[in-house]
Every structure is written in C-alpha cells, then in structure tokens.
Structure 1
C-alpha cells in the first residue's frame, strides 16, 4: 500500500508537467486523478468480487453471473471503451478526443434514483479536447503534454488495492493545499482553501455529534465538511455519523469539492449556485424557507461587493462611467432596495457594497433553534457601523447604520419596523480575533464568530472574546502567517474552558497527545518528501562516482598508473556527492529540530495557560468574558481592544545595570578619544 506522503508527492509531480501550460491547472490534475481512480477501482472491484464469488461458491461465475457483477457491484459505472487504459493506449493525436469522450460518457452513465447525473460537471469539468483560442487548429492542452501527464500518472495504482480511501483522500487534500500555497498572494486560493488550523479550531469547538446535519454554504473544496467527518471517525469510529451538505458557486471548485467527498468515501450533497441569491437547500414544505441544520461552518468571501447583483456602474453627467481609485467602476443600486424572498435578513438589510452580514444572516437562518455555527469573517464585522445619535449627544442627528443594527440584533434580539424588540436573545457565543495575513488571497485581518441559538443559562448574556493576534502567538512565513500546534492549543483551551482552570487542565490533557501526533505526522511527511526530492540526484551522483572510481580500479588491475585527471575526477564526483548528502542531512536535522521545538512549545503553552488562568491580571491579556452591561456601555462595538488588554508591555530593564553599562560606554569613548589624540600628535609631529 502506498503512503499518503508518497502518493501526495508523486501526484504533485504532475504540476511540474502542466504548470504554465493552461490556466487553473489544478482542475486538470484533479480531474485526471479522479478519472484514473474510478477506472483503477472499477477493475479492482471486478477482480475482488470475482475472487469473493469463487471463495464463496467454490467455482467461477457464469457469463450471466459475471454480467451481474459488472452491472451491480461497482460504486460507479464506466462504459466500455471509456477506461483509463483506453485513453492511455490512444495515439497522441487522438488522446485529447479519447479522454474527453471517456469522461463525458462516464458523466452521462452515472444516474441516481432521482434521475440526476451525479458526475455531470464533476468528472467532465475540464474540456480536454478544447481547441486553442488562436484559431490555429491545435489543442489548448497539447497532445504532447497530455501524453506526458497520462504516462506519468499511469505508473501509480489508485485502486483500493494500493491506495485506501483515507490515503487517497489525504493525498488529494495535500494537493489542494499545495495548489493554495502556490497561489498565496492570488485571489483564487482563498476561494477553495481555508487553513487547516482554523478549520481544526472551529470543528473542535462545535463538536459534531452522531446524527448531526452539517452545512457549509460557501464550501470551497470542502475542508470544513471533510474535517467534521474526520472528527466523527476519531470519536465514533464512523466518518458517516453525520450528514454533510454544502454549496459552492464556482464551477471548478464545486467539482473539486465533489471529487473530494467521493475520494474520502463520504455521502455528501454538494450543490452549485449562489448561496445568497439562489440557496439550494430549502425546506421540504416551503421552497422559500431555507433548510435548517444542526451545525454550520463557513469561510465566506470577505466583504463581497454587489452581493444582490443589482448594482450598475455609476455614470457622470456626460454618461461616462465613474471609477474608484483602483480603476473599478463605482456602483449604484436601485432606490427601492432589496427584498430577500427567503426572509433571512430579519436583523436588517446589509449595505449593498458589503455582503458580510448577508452571509452571516443566511447562516443564522440556516441553523436550527438549538443550532450552532463557526464562521470565519473579517474583523470589520465586529465594529463597523455607528449607533443612532441625537443632536444633544453628538451635535447632529444621525440614524443608526445598518451594520450596527444587525450586530446589536445578534446580541440583543430581533426588532420590528418600529424598532421594538420582538424577542430578546443573544446568539453570539464567542469571538476569536486572528492574526492578520492568515488566509489565502487576502490580507484582511480575520476573526472567528461562534454562534449558538441555544446558549446555556449561565452564558446567555455573555460573550467570550479571545485575542489570538498577540505577537508570538503565530509564525510569520513568506507571504502568510501560520498557526502552529501550540497556538491551536492556546486558542482552543481558552475557548473550551471559558476561564475555568480545571476544565482547561482536562482539555489540555485531551489535546496534547493529539497535537504531538500531528507534529510527528508532519515530520514524517517532510522526511519522506526530502528522501524523494534527493533520491534521484544522489543516485545519479553515486553512479557517476562509481564510474570514475572504476576507471582507476580498471587501470590498477592492469598495473597501469591512474592519471591526475582520473584522481581529480574522483575527487570532484566525491565532493559533489558529499555536498548533496550534507545538504539533505542538514534539512533532515532542521526538520527534526523544528518538530522538537514544537513539541516543547506545547508543554510550555500548557504551563503558560495554567499560570495565566490563576493570575487575574494576566488573564486580561488573553481573553475577556463581556456581559450585556459592558456590551451596552460600548454601544455593541465588539472591537477586541475594548475588552481585552492588547497592549504589548515593554520589556522591563534593570535600571542600575543600564546606568552601569552607560557609564562603562562613556569610559570607553573617553579612552578611545585619548588614543586618537595621541595618534594624531604622532602623525602630525
């Protein structure tokens, strides 16, 4: 059986073949991978079922029985002539056409009980036979490149015989992360990938239970949903203990998510469409009421402009489009406003220029009366918008901003058109302010908003606020910041304990081993990657060294004297091999050292948290539990510095020692001045 490390690294090698050949090359790689998986597993399922039949019946199946096996014993149908081997064996000039035909036939052949083509737009999302846009008659993806891709992937058996569901699913996720890492600064990475560490924090705070329905309205490649299933596997030994639902608006990303679910062996319903304008999950009895779930997890598009899709470019008096500073057109919206047919905007209509509260209200509407949600959002959600002010208060009359009213509604309850409360109900459970530059495709500082419609009695009028953007609570890397395992432990412990020391101790005990295992898994992955990265070059240089050494050995066997050039060639080859081996060893040692630092950091954070929870002054720098009175005093502004001491204290210095060092420096300067004067006298003298 192949390991996920080896499979992931091998599969990513396809990127080297395809990179710069087509845009969004990840879709090509992931779609081809999926096609081969289905084909390899179909053949394995056939062989395995025949073996099981022979073992059970002690004879070979008849032609009729074999036909039944071929028809009924497969997860997915593959029509004749549409297998991987058919594409592989096609001539290069026919390969694009053959592959395109195969995936389209498979898409048409797999129909569920309701008549829906379950692989339509999933396996055939890529147009393999698309002509080049220059009108030359050639292919957009050249037959030579496709042939190289197929030949490369052909060497890897992707059936259950060699790649289990867990291994294949994890390798697929590894690919998705690698693609996101390649495009850290671009806009597309954030559409399909949320950092695993953030997903982990949210899933573990929400704790999916057996029988729960779990929903992600902007699911990307499905990271939240996959990890919720993994949580159930770890806790209940059954990844299918929950039912999974998601919606995604980008075609390729929707296809990637569907493939992700299938490769992980999960039964999931992933729909395509705009969640705000066209929610696909509606109530069975009322298609204008959104369906409600037990849990929701999401990382929606930050600050989406024109979320109603009703904005039109603004024109000046001459009919010319008015542009913003970044060159994009200013938009203006219909004066009659927007009416949501699904009645989700019960706390107020958000500004048309920013859809954050549209997504948040959709999520609130999509969880049951005892439902919970964990949502990644921009920090602006916590404080944008101003309350109403009178002339006596502010020197001018000012209406309350929409975003202020919505946020206040989350904290106090819904109001009617007269501004009267229809219910008093705080649904905000906890807030985690995250470091800036943590998410792919945006530098906007993010936060996690935890929503609970049925908070326990002792927390009903309270909100936990965690400040996780503190310097030293994350690792700075090129283009992005990263949360390490001990950072996850710190955040999750504060969330879990709500300041209770004994709860914190229990939680830390439950998490330390898990996090240290993750560190070891990551180390094993890195070591295997290093082995594979250097293996070919070391083998080549070892062969070269052996070759030049053999020249000397052959001459010595003939009693001939090797030349200086012969010895020099050996020395050069040996030095090249030693250099490469030392480089590899240094990287291996660095990986081990980093892993050990992270393990030690977990133990250090354990002691840090226990000490913090016993020190009232220190607690203020980590988190706060704000009650409704304090929230009202702050006019429902949830900006963390209003509640948590985010000030970074300056390092204390020993004043006596500082004065002594200053005086010593002055004495040194005086001595140097004297020396320089003496030298000048000698020079001038």
Structure 2
C-alpha cells in the first residue's frame, strides 16, 4: 500500500515536467490523476468481482455473468477504448488524441438518474488535444510531454488495492496545498485554498452534527466541506453523516472540487456558477427562494468589486476611460432606487456595488435555517466600514447613515424599516475572531472570522464574543506568509469554546491536546518520510557506486594488483560525498524532531497561559471581550476590536535598582578600560623615545 507521502511526492514531481509549459498546470496533473484512478480502480474492481464469484461458485463466470458482475461493481462507467492502458499504448503521434478521446468518452458515458452528465467538465476540463496557438499545426502541450507524464504516473497503482480513498484524498489535498504555496502571492491561490488551520477553527466551533446539511457558497477546492466530513468521520465514524453542498464560479476550481469529493469517497453536490448572480441552491417549491442549510462555511472573495456586474467604465469630459493606478478602468454604478434582488436576500440593506462583502454575507444569512449557524472568513473592513447618521448639530453635515453601517447594525439588532428603526431585536452575530494580516493566499488584507447564529442561546442573545488573535506571538511570522501553529489554534479555539468559563476551557483543552499532539506526530512522520524520499535516491546512488568500486578493488587485490591513486581518490571523494549527504539528512531529521518537541511544549505553555488568564478577569481584555448590546450601541455598532480588547502590548517592566546597578558596573568597567588604554599608550611613547 502506497503512503500519502510517496504518492504526494510522485504527483508533485509531475509539476517539474509541466512548469513553464502550461499556465495552470495543477489542473493538468489533478485531471490526469483522476483519470488514472478511475481506470485503475475499474479494472481492479472487475478482477476482484470475478475472484469473489470464483470463490463462491468454484468456476469462472460466463460472459453474461461477467457482464452482470462488471455492471454491479462500479460507480462510474468507462467505455472500451477509454482506459489508461489505451492512452499508455498509443503511439507518440496519437498521444494527445488518445487522451482526449478517453476523458471525453468517460464524461459522455456517465449520466445520473436525472439525465445529468455528472463528469462533464470534471474529468475533461483540460483540453489535451488543443492546437498550439501559433498556428504551427502542433499541439499546445506536446505529445512528448504527455507521454512523459503518462509514463511518470503509470508506475503508481491507484486502485483501492494500493491506494485507499483516505490516502488518495490526503495526497490530493497535499497537492492542492503545495500548489497554493507555490503561488502565495498570486490571486489564483486564494481562489481555491483556505489555510487548513482557519478551516479547522471554524469547523470545530460549528461542530457538524449527524444529518446536518452543510453549504459553502464559494467552495474553491472544497476544503471546508472535506473538513466537515472528516469531523463527522472522527466523531461519528461516518464521513457521510452529513450532506455536502457547494458552489464555485471558476471552471478549473469547480472541477478540482468535484474530483476532491470523489477521491475522498464523498457524495457532494458541487454546482458551477456565480453565487450572487446565479445561486444554484434554491427551494424545490420556489425557484426564487434560496435553499436553507443547517451550517454554512465560507471564505468568499474579499471586497469583490462590481459584484452585480452593473458597473460601467467612468469617462472623462472627452469621453476617454479613466483608469486606476493598476491600469484597470474606474467604474461607476447606477443608483439603487430601481435595484431588486430576485431572491430577496438583502433584507438588511443593499450593499455598495463597488464592494461585495455584505452581499456575500447576506447571501449566507439567507441560506441559513432559523436555527442555522455560519463561520465566515471576511476582511476586517466589514467590522467597521460605514458611518451612522449624524444631524447637523452633531457634525454640521446632516449625514445619512451608510449602507454598510445599516447592514452591520441590522446583523446586531435585526432588519431596519424605512424609518431606520429595527423591525425586531434579533442579534445574529455570535463571535468575531480578528486574524493576523498576510495569512491568506493571494492577499495581504487582514482577515477575520465572523460566526453567525440565527438562534443564539438565551444568555448570549445580546452579547458578542470578540477575540483578538492578531497579537504578537499568536502566529508565526514568515517572510512570504504568516501561519497559525497548533498552539495558536488551541488558544483561539479554547477562547471561542469557553466564552471565559474556566471549567469548559479545561475540558476543551484536555481533548484538544490529544488531537493536536496526534497532528504534530502525524506531521512529524510526514516530514520524516519527505526527508527519506529526498535523500533516498542520492544516498543509494553513492552507496552503489562505492560498493561497486570496493568490489572492483577487492578483485584486483585478489589478483595481487594494487589500487591506483586515481581509484583511491575516487573512493575517498565518493565516501566524503556520501558522508556529507548522511550528515545533512541526520541534521534535517534532528531539526524536524526538535521542531515537533517545541510544538508540543508550546501547547503545554498555552494551556498554562490560558488557565492563568481565565482565572483573572482583569487579564481577559488582553485576549478577548464579551461585549453586551449597550456597549455596542455606545460605540455606534462599530466592531473595531481595539474598542473592546486591549490590543496594545504591555511595556516591559524594568527593575530600576537592578538597572542602576548594571549601569554603575558598566561605567566602572569602561573607566578601567580607559585607564588601561592610557597606560598602554604611555608605555608605547616611552619605548619610542628610547
């Protein structure tokens, strides 16, 4: 059975073949992986079915019986001529055509009970037979490259015999993360991947239950949905204890999400389309009513401009388009008087067309059942953008309230009527976590997590928990991108879970420590396997060359011949090179073990830190705050965290007596040094005079 580390390394090795040859090479690799998985497993299931028949009936099945076995065994159909072997055995000049025919044939052959071709656009999202754009008559991806990719992957058996859904799914996720890491600064990484640590915090606070229907309106590669299924697997022994639904607008990302679900063995419904303009999940009895879910988890595109696609380029007096600094046109938008959302999602107010944050948030709120909950990653601007109404006496402007202010106030107090008054007092904001900047792929904008609960417990109805997780030391600063580590996740999740209750915190920490230690151990094993993979080939190569040379020298000695100086030098060089490699490998292994030990210690340190803090309410304000509605009203519903949590780092306390003593000692030492220099110069002067 192949390990996920070995499979992940093998798959990522294919990236080296494709780099600089196609734009979005991850789609090529993931699509090819999916095709081979279906093909390998189909043939293994056939063999297994026939073996089972023979074991039961003690004979080979007839042609008719064999056909029945094959039809019963598979979740997917593969027509003749569309197997992996057909592509592998195709001549080099027919490689592109054979691969195109295979994936297209499979896409056309798989139809569900509703007549939907559920693999169309999934397995055949890549155009393997696309002509070169230069008109040369060649292919965009040369047959030589395809042949190399096929040969590379052909060595790995991807059937259940050698790769379970867990191994395959984990390797696939590993691959997606590696692709995101490679493109940290690019916009595409953020489209399909949310850091797993953030996903984990959200899933564990929402706690998916058996029978829940879960939804992600901007699902990317499906990370939230996969994590929710894994949570159910860990807690109920069944990853299918919940139903999974997602929508994604980018074709390749939509395909990746579908493949991700299938490889994890999950039954998920992933729809393609723009969630704001074309929400695909609607009530069965009313096409204009949004479908309701138990849980929603999302990381929508931050501050999406022109989300209703009604912006027009702004023109100057001469009719020339006015551009922004980045070269894109400035847009202007129509008034909101005639705007109407056909799905009636914007009950708290119409968001500005130039920024989609509150459009996505209101879509999410509309997608929740009356007792539903949501965990949403969003930019911190949603916490404070927008201004309340001000009279002329207050600010001299007689200003109307901004739309974003009214929407945020609506989340805290309920929808507002035409007179600006709440129709009903109903706070749906449960908790807020402010995250460090530069944590998300494709943007440096500081993010936050907004937890929404449409049916908050009675004792929390007029309260909001605010957690400041952007404190120095609460995340790992890295040159390209910051990271949350296991102990950071423990700190955030404990505050969320406990709401300041020490006993709840103790129980939570006890369970989470075991889980996080297991994750650290798993990560340790993974990294050690990667080190082994990285050095295996080179160490084996040097070892074999040394062994071969030693045997040759031993044979010469047996004949009474002496080794030449050149041979001895070569042996010494090879031994030195091997020793260097072994030392490098040993150092990396030691560093990896040290890092795991530090992470385990950090978890213990955070446990002690949290117990100390939760025992002293005076210390709470440096970590979190439970804010009531009165305080929120006093702050005009501005949720800017520094208004409620002490975000300033305390100045280091200085022991003045100790500092004065150290200063005197330093001055005394400096004076003694000056005297020594003067004496030395006098001695030199006297010597010169002689």
Which bin holds the TM-score, normalised by the shorter protein?
Answer: over 0.9
CA displacement at 1:45 relative to structure 2? 1.1
Provide the C-alpha distance between the structure 2 equivalents of 1:14 and 1:481, rounded to a whole number of angstroms. 28
Between 1:65-74 and 1:169-178, the stretch displaced more is 65-74
Alignment of 1:154 with 2:158, yes or no, is no
In the TM superposition, 1:235-250 aligns within 5 A as: 235-250=235-250
Between 1:295-304 and 1:559-568, the stretch displaced more is 559-568
SS at match of 1:480: coil
Asked if the contact 1:100/1:127 (under 8 Å) is kept, the reply is: yes
Alignment of 1:388 with 2:389, yes or no, is yes
In the TM superposition, 1:564-575 aligns within 5 A as: 564-575=565-576
Provide the C-alpha distance between the structure 2 equivalents of 1:44 and 1:559, rounded to a whole number of angstroms. 57
Asked if the contact 1:551/1:566 (under 8 Å) is kept, the reply is: no
CA displacement at 1:553 relative to structure 2? 2.2
1:636 corresponds to: 637
2:420 corresponds to: 419
2:85 corresponds to: 85
SS at match of 2:245: strand
Taking structure 2 as the reference length, the TM-score comes to 0.98
Between 1:331-340 and 1:467-476, the stretch displaced more is 331-340
CA displacement at 1:63 relative to structure 2? 1.1
CA displacement at 1:478 relative to structure 2? 3.2
In the TM superposition, 1:2-21 aligns within 5 A as: 2-21=2-21
1:400 corresponds to: 401
Superposed CA offset, 1:242-284 (max 9, x none) = 0110000000000000000001111110000000000000111
2:502 corresponds to: 501
Asked if the contact 2:49/2:70 (under 8 Å) is kept, the reply is: no
Alignment of 1:215 with 2:215, yes or no, is yes
Between 1:164-173 and 1:117-126, the stretch displaced more is 164-173
Provide the C-alpha distance between the structure 1 equivalents of 2:45 and 2:479, rounded to a whole number of angstroms. 45
In the TM superposition, 1:446-465 aligns within 5 A as: 446-465=447-466
CA displacement at 1:607 relative to structure 2? 1.1
Provide the C-alpha distance between the structure 2 equivalents of 1:651 and 1:566, rounded to a whole number of angstroms. 64
Alignment of 1:349 with 2:350, yes or no, is yes
SS at match of 1:247: strand
In the TM superposition, 1:187-226 aligns within 5 A as: 187-226=187-226
Provide the C-alpha distance between the structure 1 equivalents of 2:67 and 2:391, rounded to a whole number of angstroms. 81
Provide the C-alpha distance between the structure 2 equivalents of 1:555 and 1:108, rounded to a whole number of angstroms. 66
SS at match of 1:240: helix
2:666 corresponds to: 665
2:232 corresponds to: 232
2:301 corresponds to: 301
CA displacement at 1:670 relative to structure 2? 2.6
In the TM superposition, 1:366-381 aligns within 5 A as: 366-381=367-382
1:173 corresponds to: 173
Provide the C-alpha distance between the structure 2 equivalents of 1:17 and 1:534, rounded to a whole number of angstroms. 20
1:317 corresponds to: 317
Between 1:573-582 and 1:540-549, the stretch displaced more is 540-549
Provide the C-alpha distance between the structure 2 equivalents of 1:647 and 1:373, rounded to a whole number of angstroms. 30
Superposed CA offset, 1:341-394 (max 9, x none) = 111011011111110000000000000010000000001111111111112112
SS at match of 2:374: strand
Relative to structure 1, the CA distance from residue 384 to residue 67 in structure 2 (aligned partners, 3 Å threshold; closer, same or farther) is: same
CA displacement at 1:667 relative to structure 2? 2.4
Provide the C-alpha distance between the structure 2 equivalents of 1:336 and 1:260, rounded to a whole number of angstroms. 40
CA displacement at 1:16 relative to structure 2? 1.3
Provide the C-alpha distance between the structure 1 equivalents of 2:396 and 2:680, rounded to a whole number of angstroms. 73
Provide the C-alpha distance between the structure 1 equivalents of 2:674 and 2:192, rounded to a whole number of angstroms. 65
Provide the C-alpha distance between the structure 2 equivalents of 1:448 and 1:50, rounded to a whole number of angstroms. 52
1:44 corresponds to: 44
Q: C-alpha root-mean-square deviation of aligned residues, in Å?
A: 1.2
1:621 corresponds to: 622
Provide the C-alpha distance between the structure 2 equivalents of 1:440 and 1:94, rounded to a whole number of angstroms. 39
Provide the C-alpha distance between the structure 2 equivalents of 1:529 and 1:66, rounded to a whole number of angstroms. 43
Between 1:416-425 and 1:42-51, the stretch displaced more is 416-425
SS at match of 2:194: coil
Provide the C-alpha distance between the structure 2 equivalents of 1:108 and 1:212, rounded to a whole number of angstroms. 33
Asked if the contact 2:351/2:359 (under 8 Å) is kept, the reply is: yes
Provide the C-alpha distance between the structure 1 equivalents of 2:103 and 2:418, rounded to a whole number of angstroms. 54
Provide the C-alpha distance between the structure 2 equivalents of 1:627 and 1:596, rounded to a whole number of angstroms. 41
1:483 corresponds to: 484
Provide the C-alpha distance between the structure 2 equivalents of 1:44 and 1:304, rounded to a whole number of angstroms. 46
CA displacement at 1:82 relative to structure 2? 0.4
1:442 corresponds to: 443
Superposed CA offset, 1:49-85 (max 9, x none) = 1122222333322111111222332110000000000
In the TM superposition, 1:517-666 aligns within 5 A as: 517-666=518-667
CA displacement at 1:224 relative to structure 2? 0.2
Between 1:538-547 and 1:264-273, the stretch displaced more is 538-547
CA displacement at 1:161 relative to structure 2? 0.8
1:54 corresponds to: 54
SS at match of 1:482: coil
Number of matched residues? 685
Superposed CA offset, 1:18-72 (max 9, x none) = 1111110000000000000000011011111112222233332211111122233
What runs of 5+ residues in structure 2 fail to find an aligned partner?
Answer: none
1:104 corresponds to: 104
What runs of 5+ residues in structure 1 fail to find an aligned partner?
Answer: none
Alignment of 1:133 with 2:143, yes or no, is no
SS at match of 1:153: helix
Provide the C-alpha distance between the structure 2 equivalents of 1:620 and 1:347, rounded to a whole number of angstroms. 31
Superposed CA offset, 1:136-174 (max 9, x none) = 111111111110100010010101111111111111111
SS at match of 1:475: coil
Superposed CA offset, 1:276-302 (max 9, x none) = 000000111111111000000000000
Between 1:591-600 and 1:469-478, the stretch displaced more is 469-478
Provide the C-alpha distance between the structure 1 equivalents of 2:29 and 2:451, rounded to a whole number of angstroms. 36
Structure 1 ranges of 4+ moved more than 6 A: none
Provide the C-alpha distance between the structure 2 equivalents of 1:636 and 1:336, rounded to a whole number of angstroms. 24
CA displacement at 1:340 relative to structure 2? 0.9
SS at match of 2:646: coil
Superposed CA offset, 1:89-111 (max 9, x none) = 00111010110011011101000
Asked if the contact 1:226/1:261 (under 8 Å) is kept, the reply is: yes
